[in-house]
Chains A and B, each alone.
Chain A
């Protein structure tokens, strides 16, 4: 399974509580769509660190890296 699919499935299952792939577009902003709140972002960071073995630094915790499936995929590619 691609990273993109893994991340999308994770967001669907853990934040939208759905398996409907059409419920989330890859460039949907988690914050502006109300999918993830400020504390929910911690969950995403845990997920990245546990699932992909990367360390997310303080200054990397910004929307440009974490606020959509596409942003997460790009950030992960950079880190790996």
Chain B
């Protein structure tokens, strides 16, 4: 892992010194507490905060090539660095460290901008080609590691987190109304947007090249799927075998480290599968999990079953509601985005426990649901497609009752209201967004709390149209199931799960997560599979379940997908709710920040405080408003409460 920060002078001499860079990189100390490194010349300053994982002694960054004309700072891991080094040495390149980082500069010398195609890893890279006055910013294929940039005059600032810009920016970052509108639709911003005006992110799979005032963008990799109707000839047995081989190989390469590697274990299929396949490679495998007081959210029973079956050394953290409230402000500071669920907070507490146990690296199961179609949204999409063929059918929507088996649906009776909910957008069955429309409409309900002024500013805003502009032309030729996978990958996965709930909550405690399901070879394999092998009728992740059959307890393989959730508004209902919550949600504070309607927010707060049941929408609105207020306070008013 690590953190990087830098400044590039597009025109003229760099007006900043190493001291300025030091101020920036100190903001990212949590990403790399093992030391800082700097490089400056007349046009650029690079800085790096290091979390030592590979080549503990010699891997200090920035790192250069043989003649010191090419420099790099890098956050992440190049898992195939050993093979790359062998290949590059055979071509005559000379290495001066044993780190994975050094492969980047030599690959660049050898292949130019196509160097990135050779990398198997998770990365955010800033590479400086001094003779050509050329800065390359590039991010991994799926967006595991973040990379931001902004301009101030002739200077381009770039960093792993936007908080690194704070010491340099003349004016503090402002929350962008259109970005807030996106978060309150998709749970995150999409494309290059961030929550702040004029601060952008390098997209997953994107390379940006800056040469003086010129900027070029190139998408070097993207999720791709077969054309609809293409024949799938491979047998199930063949696919199962290949899945096992690829996943094992993705794990093996992710165990490369000069420090011990552990694993997150939620008790679901994905993390259990990783643990089962990793155990033969690490005899004393350490696993880590989290649980909740609310038994509807807790998965302890399943975790115990896997631990018992696989005999791992396990550490468990019971997360109390009041701890979520206490830590929520810190989670938002690290997430750097409004969040509509508190769920990232326990993940931050979990990484804290991992660090306390002297671990720096964990394998984690994110990505399996996206590549093998595990989420309910894929199931909903399938049922709704079936229903949309005959919207008048009374029978077809009854399949909706098979969804959400982990909820006590007897309370919602006939499911008539679920039908009403999922019936929304039924007439848009040819849209690539068909699967996601009900979810986005529900989330958009949070906008009823927007202030009149914000609503006026957003009267021409269309987040869905903006997202549509990010879609590739080929999407219309894909099966609807694959369309849903793509949309999910480009919204919730990269914008929320890997960022707000992933990298940021891991790095808050200097822990690196590694994601075998998101190895690009794994994704490309999964994307080539018949969608019916992913969702067999309504059985999610069918092919993965088949591959893991016999390697895990049957109850784990067969269990329904339970999405990871944490108490939301309920976490703030306890008597000991921290004072910042009341302060930031007070009528004058809401009016002062200007994003929300003070009176409506007071009524929502009253409702939450009453302890009465609250809907999904109310929960999202409450957490979303509180996190927006926190962010405004921490970044715009520069008075964070940490």
Contacts and interface: CB of A to CB of B under 8 A. Distances in A.
B617 A61 contact: no
Q: On chain A, which size bracket covers the interface?
A: 20 to 34
A41 B417 contact: yes
Given A42-B411, A61-B413, A62-B416, A17 B603 contact: yes
A14 B621 CA distance: 13
A39 interface: yes
Interface string B517-555: 000000000000000000000000000000000000000
Nearest to A47: B612
B413 A63 contact: no
Interface in A4-33: 13-14, 16-18, 31-32
Given A36-B615, A38-B412, A41-B412, A17 B417 contact: no
Given A17-B604, A58-B410, A61-B412, A38 B417 contact: yes
A48 B96 CA distance: 74
Interface of B is mostly: helix
A17 to B, nearest CB: 4
B445 A34 contact: yes
B565 interface: no
Interface string A50-76: 000000001111110011000000000
Contacts of B412: 38-39, 41-42, 61
B318 interface: no
A14 B418 CA distance: 20
B615 A40 contact: yes
A63 B416 contact: yes
B413 A60 contact: yes
Nearest to A45: B411
A63 B617 CA distance: 19
Contact of A43 (B597, B599, B613): B613
B600 A38 contact: no
B622 to A, nearest CB: 11
A60 B412 CA distance: 10
A46 B414 contact: no
Nearest to B416: A62
A34 B443 CA distance: 11
Contacts of A40: 615, 617-618
A61 B607 CA distance: 23
Contact of B421 (A17, A18, A31): A31
A51 to B, nearest CB: 11
Contacts of B604: 17
B614 interface: yes
Nearest to B619: A39
B620 to A, nearest CB: 10
Contact of A37 (B410, B449, B616): B616
A37 B613 CA distance: 13
16 contacts: A14-B603, A36-B615, A37-B421, A37-B442, A37-B615, A39-B412, A39-B617, A40-B615, A40-B617, A43-B614, A58-B413, A58-B414, A59-B413, A62-B413, A62-B414, A62-B416
Given A34-B445, A37-B617, A63-B417, 12 more contacts: A13-B603, A13-B607, A17-B448, A17-B599, A18-B603, A31-B421, A32-B420, A37-B421, A37-B615, A39-B412, A61-B416, A62-B416
Interface of B: 410-414, 416-418, 420-421, 441-442, 445, 448-449, 597, 599-601, 603-604, 607, 612-618
